[in-house]
Amino acid sequence: MRALIQRVTEAKVEINGATVGEIGPGLLILVCAMQGDSEAQADAMAAKIAKLRIFRDEDGKMNRSILDTGGAALVVSQFTLAADTSRGNRPGFSQAAAPDLGERLYDHFAGAVAALGIPVATGRFGADMAVSLVNDGPVTIWIEG
């Protein structure tokens, strides 16, 4: 799986002008299932992100996790994270999981984050979404695993 996480003060996702997911302080997690991925990989990525110490402590250092801060997560499917730009000018997405597997792993990942005690909002798999956020820091981190 691949994920791009952004520490945010707020984030939301809209479909056709209607808000379908919204959070205050926490993480926007853009996630993509890749060919060969499994529920075990989704679980491991959820655990890693939940423990990642990227929030400020009382001294202003990045030393706290989302679990420590009580923040929320907005989980959004983003198959374009599978982009292969090594040839030509048009990205290829053949390494992304097939849509049925991608949706199943996306749902599993969001559930795994929630099972860790993190409030979760989501987008809608396969939908044309408008995502807005206020990146805090900015802090943006790429995770693959």
The catalytically annotated residue of 80, 93, 122, 140 is: 80
The architecture that CATH gives domain 2-144 is: 3-Layer(bba) Sandwich (3.50)
H, E, C per residue of the chain = CEEEEEEEEEEEEEECCEEEEEECCEEEEEEECECCCCHHHHHHHHHHHHHCCCEECCCCCEEECHHHHCCEEEEEECHHHHCECCCCCCCECCCECCHHHHHHHHHHHHHHHHHCCCCEEECCCCCCCEEEEEEEEEEEEEEEC
Q: Is 79 a catalytic residue?
A: yes
In the chain, where the domains are located: 2-144
pLDDT score of 57: 97
Tens-digit pLDDT profile for residues 69-116: 999 999 999 999 999 999 999 999 999 999 999 999 999 999 999 999
Task: Compute the average pLDDT of residues 26-53.
Answer: 97
Confidence of residue 145 (pLDDT cuts 50, 70, 90): confident
- Res. 29 pLDDT band, cuts 50 70 90: very high
User: Does residue 143 have a pLDDT over 90?
Assistant: yes
- pLDDT at residue 28 greater than cutoff 90: yes
> 55, 79, 109, 122: which is the annotated catalytic residue?
79
Select which of 9, 19, 55, 78 is catalytic.
Answer: 78
Give pLDDT, residue 115.
Answer: 98
Question: Per-residue pLDDT for 129 more than 90?
Answer: yes
